[in-house]
Amino acid sequence: MNLLHRLYYHAGVTLGKSFFFEKPTWQLTDEKKRIFALIFDAALYGENQTIDYDCNFPKWQFLDYIINEKDLVLHGSNVPKIDVMEPREQTDYAGNKVKAVFATRDSIWSIFFSILDLENYRGSLRNVCWVIQNEGKAERRFYFFSLNQDPRGHNWMNGLVYILPAESFRPASTGVVRFDEWLSDKQVTPIARLPVTAMDFPMIEKVVQHDDRESMIISWLRYKRRATRSSASKLA
C-alpha cells in the first residue's frame, strides 16, 4: 500500500471522526437482500416507476443495496415527476461551473436533498458527504449538514429519490478522500423513484444552524458541538 495514501487515509478518518458524523453501520442479511430485491424488481418491471415501499427496514438501507448491487446512482429532489433529467449549469463541490446532471452514490445524502425545499431556501446551505477509502480498507463515510436557520423550525418537505443508471456518470473527485458527487454530461432517464420524508432521514437530529457570516471552516469546527447542544436542548 502506498505510504502517502495510507497517511491520507488515517488523517482523513481522524479528521472525519473529530468534526463530522460517520454513517451508521448495518448488515445486509439474507432476509433484507430478498425483500429489497423484490421491492426493486416490482418497480423496475411494473407499470409505475414509483416504488411502493411496504417494508419496515430503513429506506436508506434499501438505497444502499441498489447502489451497490445494481450499480446505480441517486438524485434527490422535491420535483414530483421528472421523466428526463437534462444537464444544466451548476457549480460542483469545488465551486467550478459545470453543465451536468448531478447525482451521488450515497443514500443518506440523496435523502437530504429530497426533503430540503431548495426552491424557497435563502442564504447559505452547507453540507458534506466525504468518502474515505484506501486499498485494502473498508469505505468510511462522514457527513456535515448545516442550515442558516433553525432546523427544528424548518419545514421539511416530502420528496423523491430518483434512481438513475450509472453508465454516463463520472466522479467529480477521486482519491483516498473524495466528495461523493457524480456528474453526467448527457440527459438521463430515471428508472424508478422512491418517496421519502424527514422520517426517512437518519441524520435529521444532526442538522444544525450556522451564521452566514462565518466561514465554512468555522462551521466545520463548530458542527459537532452545535449538534450536541441541539440534541441536549430537545431533551430538556
Is pLDDT at 62 greater than 90 in this prediction? yes
CA torsion sign, 213 to 217 to 218 to 224? positive
Q: What percent of the chain has pLDDT over 90?
A: 66
Cβ atoms within 10 Å, residue 195:
16
Is pLDDT at 119 greater than 90 in this prediction? no
Q: What percent of the chain has pLDDT over 70?
A: 95
Task: Name the grid cell of 71.
Answer: 450499480
**pLDDT reported for residue 235:** 37
Task: Tell me the mean pLDDT in the region 209-224.
Answer: 94
Per residue in 22-46, pLDDT (tens digit) is 999 999 999 999 999 999 998 887 6
**pLDDT reported for residue 118:** 81
**pLDDT reported for residue 46:** 65
**pLDDT reported for residue 1:** 55
Look up cell 432521514; give the residue: 201
Is pLDDT at 234 greater than 70 in this prediction? no
- Kindly tell me the burial class for residue 224, based on how many C-beta atoms sit within 10 Å of its own C-beta (0-12, 13-18, 19 or more): middle
Mean pLDDT of the residues in the chain: 90
Per residue in 141-159, pLDDT (tens digit) is 999 999 998 887 677 899 9
**pLDDT reported for residue 27:** 95
The model's confidence at residue 135, banded by pLDDT at 50, 70 and 90, is confident
Instruction: Quote the Cα angle for 101-42-103, to 5°.
Output: 15
Bigger pLDDT: 94 or 221?
221
Bigger pLDDT: 16 or 121?
16
**pLDDT reported for residue 219:** 95
d(CA 159, CA 21): 23
Boundaries of every domain in the chain: 3-235
Q: What pTM does this model have?
A: 0.92
